[in-house]
Structure 1
Amino acid sequence: MKIGTIILAAGDSSRMGGEPKQLITYKGQSLIRRITESALSLQRGPVVVVLGANRERILPELAGLHITVVDNPNWPTGQASSLKTGLAALYITHKDIDSVLVLHTDQPLVSLGLLLHMLEVNQEEGKGIVACRYDTQISVPALFGRQYINELLQLEGDKGVKWVVVRHRNDCSEVPFEAGAIDLDSRRDVEMFAQVQLSV
């Protein structure tokens, strides 16, 4: 199965006081480098990273990686525009992909093991979507069969992939991932996460 991966990293980290959360370090690596290397380690197909705000600061973190970097000038309109930018970049060059994997940069505990487990679940259960469950939501990381690409392209504004997941729960395999609730969106999130890591 050929999988195209889209990493959404275009936001301006407004709740971080302008400091790009993509550059937060965890275990000696920036979050953007960490998630991109995990995606590449799947070795299942092309990886596209969508940048927008803070592009010039983030880009050096991706040096030397075999990926496609695309810019989303419309990033202020919301996450949907970045998803569409990534899908367009994937589909123009790789029309033969079977599935699309969507990842965010602000979930530090996403691992290669989790992504491989998602692919196993996809193979075993054969549903069109595999998404992660944490807290009260089912969301990213999420894997979509190519039959959902058009629906993903129709998202607008701040609507993310979970809008498609919710509409098709009967065709969705859920993977428990409680650590997905750790989402480094603000300075407070980062401080709390650092404290937890120190206490482990």
Structure 2
Amino acid sequence: MKTGIIILAAGESSRLGYPKQIAQFNGKTLLQLAIDAANDSKADKRVLVLGAFRDEIKKTFPGASIPNIPNPHFQKGMSSSIKIGMEYMLKFDKPDQVIIMLCDQPFVDAKILNKLIATQKKEGKGIVACAYSKTIGVPILFGEAHFKELMELTGDEGAKNIALAHEDDLVAIPFPKGKVDIDTEEDLRDLNL
């Protein structure tokens, strides 16, 4: 099974006041942590979707480290970035499954991404999600059977709704630290305590 990873990093970080992609944790930017996790994982292909503050963000990581594409419609919400990432993957790489991840979950590492891939192989389900805070969420793996639905998402709709609509084809893996994401200066301070 060929696995692709799409890192969504196109948002405006309106609550933080500056691009969260360049916020620092443990001496690296949040985006660099996400890129490292994707690059160190067993996935075959990766792509990074950028939008707001693209030029500023691109200066913070080596461009050759990961293919990156612009989302000119990032104001239309997360679904527009998922679509652009999917279009790129399907055009160039034709993966059998994709992992969708964000750049604001500092504890996502290659281990958890590899666990999604390994769980899919073992369980044979079309969706493997992370479980935290009594729900499921990203990072989340989707098999080819769900690609069409990912392409049909609209607005700020994320992929979680697709997973919840297919509970019969879903397996979740525990990832308690998945609940940590960075939206505000306070989140960042709590993280660095």
Compute the TM-score of the two structures, normalised by the length of structure 1. Answer: 0.93
SS at match of 2:136: strand
C-alpha contact (below 8 Å) 1:9/1:49 kept by paired residues:
yes
- In the other structure, the counterpart of 1:8 is 8
C-alpha contact (below 8 Å) 1:46/1:67 kept by paired residues:
no
Alignment of 1:70-81 (within 5 A): 70-81=69-80
- In the other structure, the counterpart of 1:34 is 33
C-alpha contact (below 8 Å) 1:5/1:39 kept by paired residues:
yes
C-alpha contact (below 8 Å) 1:13/1:21 kept by paired residues:
yes
C-alpha contact (below 8 Å) 1:6/1:86 kept by paired residues:
yes
Percentage identity across paired residues of the two chains? 38
- In the other structure, the counterpart of 2:135 is 137
Amino acid at match of 1:129: I
C-alpha contact (below 8 Å) 1:26/1:108 kept by paired residues:
yes
C-alpha contact (below 8 Å) 1:129/1:143 kept by paired residues:
yes
C-alpha contact (below 8 Å) 2:5/2:101 kept by paired residues:
yes
- Runs (4+) of structure 1 moved beyond 4 Å? none
Amino acid at match of 1:27: N
Alignment of 1:161-176 (within 5 A): 161-176=159-174
- In the other structure, the counterpart of 1:198 is none
Query: How many pairs were matched up?
Result: 193
Shift of 1:136: 2.6
The answer on 1:123 being equivalent to 2:121 is yes
| 2: CA distance, partners of 1:194 / 1:133 | 24
- In the other structure, the counterpart of 1:67 is 66
Amino acid at match of 1:62: F
- In the other structure, the counterpart of 1:191 is 189
CA RMSD of aligned residues (A): 1.1
| 1: CA distance, partners of 2:108 / 2:134 | 18
Q: Deviations over 1:18-74 (max 9, x none)?
A: x11111112211111111121111243111100000101111233154422111111
Amino acid at match of 1:16: L
Compute the TM-score of the two structures, normalised by the length of structure 2. Answer: 0.96
Shift of 1:165: 0.7
* Unaligned ranges ≥5, structure 1: 196-200
Q: Deviations over 1:50-107 (max 9, x none)?
A: 0000101111233154422111111111100010011111111112x11001010110
Shift of 1:172: 0.7
SS at match of 2:192: helix
Amino acid at match of 1:180: G
Selected match of 1:99 from 97, 100, 106: 97
- In the other structure, the counterpart of 1:58 is 57
